[in-house]
Structures are given as C-alpha cells and as structure tokens.
Amino acid sequence: MEVPALELAEFSIGEDLSICNNAVILLEGPEGLEYIWSDGTTTQDLILHAGDYEIGENEISLEVITADGCVSEDTLMLTVLQCVGLNELNDESVIIYPNPANDVVRIQSPELIQSFMIYAMDGRMVHNQKVNAHSLSLNLAANKLDAGIYHCVLNTGEKMIHRDIVVTN
C-alpha cells in the first residue's frame, strides 16, 4: 500500500525589515493553521512592539502546523534602530499630498521607501505596507480610514520619517 506524501504549507511572514525602537508592527501568518511564533505566541498574527527587542538584529520566526501535522517555518531578520534625531521625525524631502485628503494620499520620497505604516491617534496600527519604491498611492476608502488625524511612519532603512495626515470624508 502506497502512502501519499503530505504537502508542507508554503508561506512567508515577509522580507527582512528595519524599524524604530518605538514602532509597533503587525506580522501575519497564513490562515487556517496552528501557529508558534518565536516569542511563544500561538495566534495567526503577531503584534510586534520593537521596544521589546534589542537594538540591532533580531530573528523572528513562525512555525505553522497543518491539519494533517505537516510543519513549515519562515524567518525574517528584524533590525531595531535607535530613532531619536530630529531628522528622523520630520524629513522635509518627503512629500505627502493632498493633506487633508478624502480619497487617495500620495507619498513621494527621494529615498527608497521600504515600508509605510499608519497609526490611529489611539495608537492602533491601521495600515502596514511593504513598498520598496520612491512613491506610493494609498486608497483611503479601501483601507476603511474614518475621518480623523493619523500618524504616518515611512521606513527608508536608514531612518524613520514621521508625518501626520488629516482624513476627511
């Protein structure tokens, strides 16, 4: 009797990334599996508070187990940066427009934007996007952003740029 080979779950928790020591990001595992993150968390998603990690390189991994018992793992390298300089808080070379905005926000940077995050005023991350480009457009309605003030963080790998945007409906 021949036993069929079990197929491993293939997935990625993302590319290596660099974030400021005060950032909070969301890493997402694939749906419908059992999960074990490197910190012992067993939920599909991991809310990662950079301040909980050492400045420098940190390995983050996720092991997933399928219903039939197959195990697969992915790892990314998280580089936590010490971000305290004024240049990292408000880099005038980055353009975010229009501001206020009601449907689409456009962002342009002379430096390569690795990732872009938006936080509500209560501290919740409401958007997290890998970019790897000098510009991006964000559809506010598709991201279900209600009217209000939001804090944006752009990661260029070298620095974190912080800006506020106003969303109107």
Mean pLDDT of 137-155: 85
pLDDT at 119 over 90: no
Look up the pTM and report it: 0.50
Digit-coded pLDDT (tens) for 25-58: 888 888 888 999 999 999 998 888 888 898 888 9
User: Cα(154)–Cα(158) distance, rounded to whole angstroms?
Assistant: 10
Contact of 75 with 59, CB cutoff 8 Å? yes
* Site of tokens 């809310």: 47
In a domain, 52, yes or no: yes
How confident is the prediction for the chain on average, in pLDDT?
Answer: 83
- Domain boundary residue, one of 81, 101, 136: 81
β-pairing, 71-81 vs 17-20, is: parallel
In a domain, 9, yes or no: no
Q: CA nearest 155: which of 18, 42, 23?
A: 18
- Residue ranges making up the domain that contains 119: 86-167
List the beta bridge partners of residue 108: 95, 135
Q: How confident is the model at residue 4 (pLDDT cuts 50, 70, 90)?
A: very low
